[in-house]
Amino acid sequence: MGIGRRVAEARAEQGVTQEQLAVAVGLERSALAKIETEKRRLSALELVAIARELKRRVEWFVDDAPPALVSYRRAHPDVATQAIDLRLDELVRETEFVVSCIPGLISGQPEPLPHPTTAAEAEEMADTARRLLGLGPADPAHNIAGLAAALGLLIFSLDLGEGADAGTVLLERGGVTLVNGSRMVGRRRLAAAHELGHYLIADEYALDWRIASSEADGLEARLDRFARALLLPESDLRTRWARWTNAPDESWRDAAVRAASHYRVDMATLARRLKELRLVEHSRAEDIRQVQTRRADIVEKDLVVSDELAPASLPRAYEQAVLALYRREAVTEGRALGLLLGTFDSASLPELPPVPGSEIWTVTS
């Protein structure tokens, strides 16, 4: 796709008419029409102005999209581009740039696991994933972004509003996942675990909707099962559930609140897991699904409150890599802030050493 076509695509996605964009960047509408149909070349200054107006980096108009995204878009020409698709495109480009400068950012990537074809295989895949993540049988999968980074998957969370729960793109080495931070914490964690499944079976590109409520058969449903088994390991859940439900002076509701807090899942995920392990009947699962953790529960049960993957959330290793580039002066302050997606301001960046006087003289002479 040429630059002109990309201008037209970006303009349409922003909901801007040719007339509006032309006025904003100081062009005649007819000139912009020729640019979009690639009958007129675009100057560098015009491209910068259009990129700024359409809130895109200049590279987006010049460089090809990541191959996995191009392949997906060609296979789904009738599917409208979603906000998560666009942000994933940007994130993949930014991550590939940072990795090109600091290859150690992607520390490892396991050999692809086979696609699970049954629920039992999804459970086995979760056991394998927990071993790869270094989790013991009784360890909760807290800080899932930190755990996944050790396997080469960088998980970001941004506020995307309505739309898909998460998406993943496989890089040449490693991968990038974007979780919709507009969801509640339990659903964000479930989405991240589900995307880890896509990554481990080496899906080039995945865009997932309504992960927590998927009832469909097929791979997505089995990866849902994988995600629940990863976050709520069967043996440990059985042991703890028996202990919590048998605790004196506590109800099934107390047990549900403790379980959801311990494993950091939402009640819908907990209820479904308890039901699929036959630890509760259907009616009790529906009751658990309706439970809301109150502030009194947090205080009386001394629970830990976590807002994991709250937007905007960036992988710590990625943040460290960007700061290393800034310290080396391999990127400017503006570029570093852009790579950090607005989670830093100028005052938050490390102080750089002053430029020696001799270098200043060299520059100004």
Say what the pLDDT of residue 66 is: 72
- Number of domains composing the chain: 3
Is pLDDT of 363 > 60?
no
Residues 193, 108, single domain; the answer is yes
pLDDT tens-place string over residues 93-152: 999 999 999 999 997 889 999 999 999 999 999 999 999 999 999 999 999 999 999 999
pTM of the model: 0.84
Burial 64-94 (b: 16+ CB within 10 A, else e): ebbebbeebbeeeeeeeebbbbbbbbbbbbb
Q: Which domain holds residue 274?
A: 234-301
Say whether both 351 and 278 belong to one domain: no
Contacts 24+ apart (CB under 8 A), 274-277: 274/237, 274/241, 276/119, 276/225, 276/228, 277/234, 277/237, 277/238
CATH number reported for the structural domain that contains residue 8 in this entry: 1.10.260.40
Asked whether residue 162 falls in the same domain as residue 101, the answer is yes
Q: Are residues 326 and 179 in the same domain?
A: yes
The CATH number assigned to the domain holding 194 equals 1.10.10.2910
Whether residues 93 and 189 share a domain: the answer is yes
